[in-house]
Structure 1
């Protein structure tokens, strides 16, 4: 009867309940801030740079099509304009990225004014770059026009960045809430504590090691979810988790590691691997009488780092999953790395693979 009550309680509560919070309404201070001013100016991402450059080029092409008499003149004007616009946009993004902390501390009015002036200066710098290969005379009217165009372009980019940041707030909130619930499930805590209690009398050293690993897992679970960690730290945390599970399952859990040390410096959100290895144990080992195999591998693939979590597939899991952990991992990767990271799933006969590609 007690076991049934424990099972029912463990399925109806989340990690926040174990920590003393309401399960359906975590206290705001338990979550990292949903609005991070620096995130708005974090423009050092390949995907964002490509979108900004493409947007400016489309507007440039449309504007020049009104002034050009024919296609040949349009191409000629576009070639010259691209030198100026590309230089200006890339320089603006580079300076905003470098100054994201000071910019985040400014009042909103000063942000608009400061970045407008910066846009005007970057447009004039782009014109000077073009002038190195051109003898065309420069008039005051042209310089003023370029400065105004640069300021207007800067205002448009800033408005886009603010809109982008606001649109991501609901997704960030959902990712944080799901993260709190899916980091370490209550039944895992109960199983680990029960195993430790059973070991205290017969193998106290193993019980101590198990509780140390559990303590480290919860220390990271309660850390700031906005901070980035390197892959080496995540691998070490996954080891601790699997060491605990190894004591529970014994020979039924077979773990293989294929790690490339040079890949360990890649940055990723904390506690990203733990839900993946937990899923691998839950679906690949726990339901099967003969157990199963879990493979964790890392490798360098050119300018990217590849992470794989592979588990054998046998009998279906005793409780159906909801895919929250996988959606959580995918969402957190997108928020940190945008299009520079990829998250792929592959189901083959007898195997399930999660593949992550990160910037090196």
Structure 2
């Protein structure tokens, strides 16, 4: 059979045998189907807080303001008839003010996030005051009595206060949605591991069964451990030591595929192991390094992973060489996802820096210990 004739030829490396045997069996580990891209919806999209162009959100805002109006009118009305009159007149003002405010906020939803936070709290309540005055002007068309300065000031103050309450509700609503979005993208990251490793690792294990059964068993053990971690329930955070172990499992599997082309150097500080990080932090980063720094180059490449404790912080560095351009153009989605989840977990206490050149890609992460 052709299989045994090929086995008699000199072998240059386990990696070459893995490729050859896999191709004879009808598999091609170097020609895997393209993985679906990660969702492009960012976790911390600043425009989402101002995206008020939804019927459900408009209804909630209008009903909330009308309820406050009805309660306020009930406090000052002498009887039910006066309460109805006050509520009806107030509805003209509040409906016009709320709907016009929401319309302007929706139309300029990409403008507001560009303003600093204090400027947002000045501009949008100011817009609410203007909208309330315009609504009161609409109501005043039915009256010949000119409004006094105090009444105009009260209307403007009420409009600004209502706009400030709406703005606070929108920001709180967007903030409470972040954990659900983070979990959804984490599940998506986990799902990407399964077919990717299944194709590469099983093909390598099939090749190694005839060449080196003990090593094939080790590959399958690494795969089982990797899947055990990837299929576990998504946790809010894990230790850096757990993330390093997962990255080692991944690189051990890729080492079978690339052989001497993949050169990995670890510099690990035991004092940094206890730092809490988002799950699946390192694996997508080292996968990027292998895919774009090692796979496209005939000579392979080097990957250096360093963890070190610096006082109350832990520094993580991932450096890989860059040679020939990658066969597939990346979109930076994995890097963006990791950056957003770090910010979601540690806010300003975390840093994520990238320094790329023609020969090297340097990634640095700082997290609190």
Q: Which residue does the alignment assign to 2:287?
A: 278
CA distance 1:192–1:264, shift in 2 (3 Å): same
Candidates 167, 182, 186, aligned match of 1:172: 182
Query: Given the two structures, how large is their TM-score scaled by the length of structure 1?
Result: 0.55
How many Å separate the matches in 2 of 1:347 and 1:310? 10
Tell me if the contact between 2:263 and 2:303 (Cα under 8 Å) persists in the aligned partners: yes
Residue 332 in 1 paired to residue 355 in 2?
no
Paired residues of 1:231 and 1:265 also in contact (CA < 8 A): yes
Distance change >3 Å, CA 343–CA 198, structure 1 → 2: same
The answer on 1:211 being equivalent to 2:211 is no
SS in 2 for 1:11: coil
Structure 1 residues 265 and 210: alpha-carbon distance in aligned structure 2, compared to 1, 3 A threshold: same
Larger Rg: 2
CA distance in 1, matches of 2:264, 2:186: 29
- Once residues 188 and 331 of structure 2 are traced to their aligned partners in structure 1, the CA distance between those partners, rounded to angstroms, is 12
* 2-structure distance, mates of 1:3, 1:203: 19
Matched, 1:236 2:225: no
Cα deviations by residue, 1:303-340 (Å, 9 ceiling, x for unpaired): 21000111000001111112121111112212211221
**Aligned positions of 1:120-269 closer than 5 A:** 162-168=172-178, 171-172=181-182, 175-176=185-186, 178-182=188-192, 184=193, 186-269=195-278
Uncovered stretches (5+) of structure 1, i.e. residues with no partner: 16-22, 24-53, 60-154
CA RMSD across the alignment: 3.3
Would you say 1:320 and 2:329 are equivalent positions? yes
Quote how far apart the aligned CAs of 1:235 are.
0.9
Q: 1:237 to 1:344 in 2, by over 3 A?
A: same
Distance 1:171 1:13 in 2: 18
The correspondence of residues 97-112 of structure 1 with structure 2, limited to 5 A, is none
How many residues end up aligned between the 2 structures? 223
**Contact map agreement 1:7 1:187 (CA 8 A) in 2:** no
CA distance in 2, matches of 1:243, 1:173: 27
* Whole-angstrom CA distance in 2 between matches of 1:189 and 1:224: 20
The answer on whether the counterparts of 1:299 and 1:306 sit within 8 Å (CA) in structure 2 is yes
Q: SS at the partner of 1:314?
A: coil
**Which ranges of structure 2 fall in alignment gaps of 5 or more residues?**
1-22, 40-116, 123-164
- The answer to whether the Cα contact below 8 Å between 2:194 and 2:227 also exists between their aligned partners in 1 is no
The whole-number CA distance in structure 1 between the counterparts of 2:252 and 2:180 is 36
Structure 1 pair 12–256 and aligned structure 2 pair: CA distance change class (3 A): closer
* Contact map agreement 1:347 1:353 (CA 8 A) in 2: yes
TM value normalised by structure 2: 0.54
**Equivalence for 1:72:** none
